[in-house]
Structure 1
Amino acid sequence: MPSMFRRRGLMIVLIGFIILAALIGFSMRDRDSLSVPEKFLQDSIGWVQTIFHAPVQIVDNTYQNIQNMLNVYEQNEVLKNRLDEYKGLIQENQQLEKDNRELRATLDKAESMREYTPIHGTVIARSSDRWFEQMTINRGEEHGVQKDMAVITSDGMVGKVQSAGAFHSNVQLLSGFDESNKISSYIVREGEDNVFGLIEGYDSESGRLLLEGINLDEELKEGDVVISAGLGGVFPSDLRIGTVDKVENDRSGLTKTAYVEPFADLFDINHVMVVDREMDTVNTDSEEGEEQ
């Protein structure tokens, strides 16, 4: 019995192959039309392909979209990095241009100060807790810097040397001046005599220097220029300080106080000059000696 079933199975398989070969041969003939079974088979295969093609296409498109998104992300990161580099270059270039302008202005200022000996320096530090009062420059006694020498920029006076080391010095800014630090000054008025006064402090609220001791009968105007008078024995004369912003009577009612807007930006200083006043005295003495 088992052998009979095996024979029948083999016969069925053989007959199936024969029928399949016949159908294949029949379908490969050159014909203008298909039979009904062929049409059914073709449509069935087409529908199956359509059903499977849609999800495969979706998966493929999704994969392609993910790949494109990853590529776009990578390109975006590269562009961001390059943009940051460009921004850094732009900022560096702007800073270099600013330093160049300051150095040129400082050199031009130095050439115009023939009666003094300017010592060029660079700000190397500013204390966070005393930012508005003090800074450190890279020049000291070995470069000719001494205590109480005036410190200026190309715009105007910024302070004086508070202490001098061998190669570095601390500078007290005008914004850190109090009544113990006085600058004899002149207010220059167009077509009139100069008005004398003393810079005796700094008003932190308005950001203005306080020019005290002005006679009540003196008429001052906004924008009048204030320069050093050189009468105190510390600061040389004719150093630009600032302009008159407003004038009011002092508490005693006997004199006036002028609020002076500094020429120099006291909060953004990079390059300075220390003004050596002694050279003027030495030159004067030598000239008198020659005359004798």
Structure 2
Amino acid sequence: MHSKQSLIESCLELSRRNAYLELKIQEQAGLAQENKALESLLKLPEQHDYYYEVARVCRRDMGTWWNRMIIRKGRNYGITEGAGVVYSGGVVGKITQVNATTAVVELITSPLFRMAAHFDGDQRPVCYQGKITQSFQVPQGGVRDVPTDCELKEPLTLVSSALGGIFPDGIFIGTIQTLEADKDGLFLNGRVELNRALLSLKEVAVLLPLNS
């Protein structure tokens, strides 16, 4: 009698575990479908060395609007500190803090944000840095260490450089209208005009390496 009762309890426990696993499988399938749908909505280009983990923006405070945002995915989804963040219009920023279910993004407009970059069609590296942007104004940044032989016959397009180890090569950052010599006259500096869409992002994608 005792062994029969134990068998019944074991079967019930096994049934509960199977039901739990089936539920988790369905949840994962649903999340994968949602990720694909959001990825399609963002119209993100295919990457060979990275995959996209799409996340919704859940918080962006008025006082730090152009400095950081919080996204609704974190460690539980493989998000790691230092990972690049993008959207269909280009670079958004990078992950600076990770919790279980959320992560903090340092935005491309933050004065604390720096990244390796180059001009479209010119592989020589330059440095991009965020600049203070007034609330709800056109977002901007700065570029420095530009070679003095760089000609500005028309607005230059600034894109990401893979040398920084955060972003793949060629992701749009912004455009440069003017360049001027730095105080030493060794390099050129310029103001980078960023995409206005950065003002009202609802979804972004975290770049995670495929070999991680």
State the TM-score, normalized to the length of structure 1: 0.54
2:127 and 2:143 in contact (8 A); partners too:
yes
2:176 and 2:190 in contact (8 A); partners too:
yes
Aligned-pair CA distance for 1:233:
2.4
1:240 and 1:263 in contact (8 A); partners too:
no
Aligned-pair CA distance for 1:152:
0.8
**Is residue 202 from structure 1 mapped to residue 131 from structure 2 by the alignment?**
yes
> Which of 261, 265, 268 in structure 1 is aligned with 2:200?
268
Aligned-pair CA distance for 1:147:
0.6
Aligned-pair CA distance for 1:187:
0.2
Higher relative contact order at CA 8 Å, sep ≥6: structure 1 or structure 2? 2
**Residue deviations 1:26-72 (CA, integer Å, cap 9, x gap):** xxxxxxxxxxxxxxxxxxxxxxxxxxxxxxxxxxxxxxxxxxxxxxx
**3-state secondary structure, aligned to 1:145:** coil
Aligned mates of 2:189, 2:150 — CA distance in 1: 11
**Is residue 122 from structure 1 mapped to residue 56 from structure 2 by the alignment?**
yes
Aligned mates of 2:199, 2:86 — CA distance in 1: 13
More helix per residue: 1 or 2?
Answer: 1
Aligned mates of 2:207, 2:78 — CA distance in 1: 10
Aligned mates of 1:113, 1:158 — CA distance in 2: 17
> Which of 174, 180, 184 in structure 2 is aligned with 1:252?
184
> Which of 118, 133, 147 in structure 2 is aligned with 1:215?
147
**Is residue 144 from structure 1 mapped to residue 78 from structure 2 by the alignment?**
yes
Task: Give the RMSD, CA atoms, in angstroms.
Answer: 2.3
1:150 and 1:236 in contact (8 A); partners too:
no
Over 3 Å counting, the alpha-carbon distance change for 1:263 and 1:221 in structure 2 is farther
Matches within 5 A, 1:7-86: none
Listed as ranges, the gaps of 5+ residues in structure 1 are 1-101, 284-292
**Is residue 132 from structure 1 mapped to residue 98 from structure 2 by the alignment?**
no
Q: Who is 1:162 aligned against? A: 96
Partner AA of 1:183 in structure 2: M
Matches within 5 A, 1:173-192: 173-178=107-112, 181-189=113-121
Over 3 Å counting, the alpha-carbon distance change for 1:122 and 1:113 in structure 2 is same
**3-state secondary structure, aligned to 2:109:** helix
Partner AA of 1:152 in structure 2: V
Partner AA of 1:184 in structure 2: A
State the TM-score, normalized to the length of structure 2: 0.73
Aligned mates of 2:196, 2:87 — CA distance in 1: 7
Partner AA of 1:229 in structure 2: S
1:222 and 1:246 in contact (8 A); partners too:
no
Aligned mates of 2:167, 2:196 — CA distance in 1: 16
1:157 and 1:264 in contact (8 A); partners too:
no
Listed as ranges, the gaps of 5+ residues in structure 2 are 1-37
**3-state secondary structure, aligned to 2:70:** strand
Aligned mates of 1:117, 1:264 — CA distance in 2: 25
Aligned mates of 1:220, 1:186 — CA distance in 2: 14
1:137 and 1:168 in contact (8 A); partners too:
yes
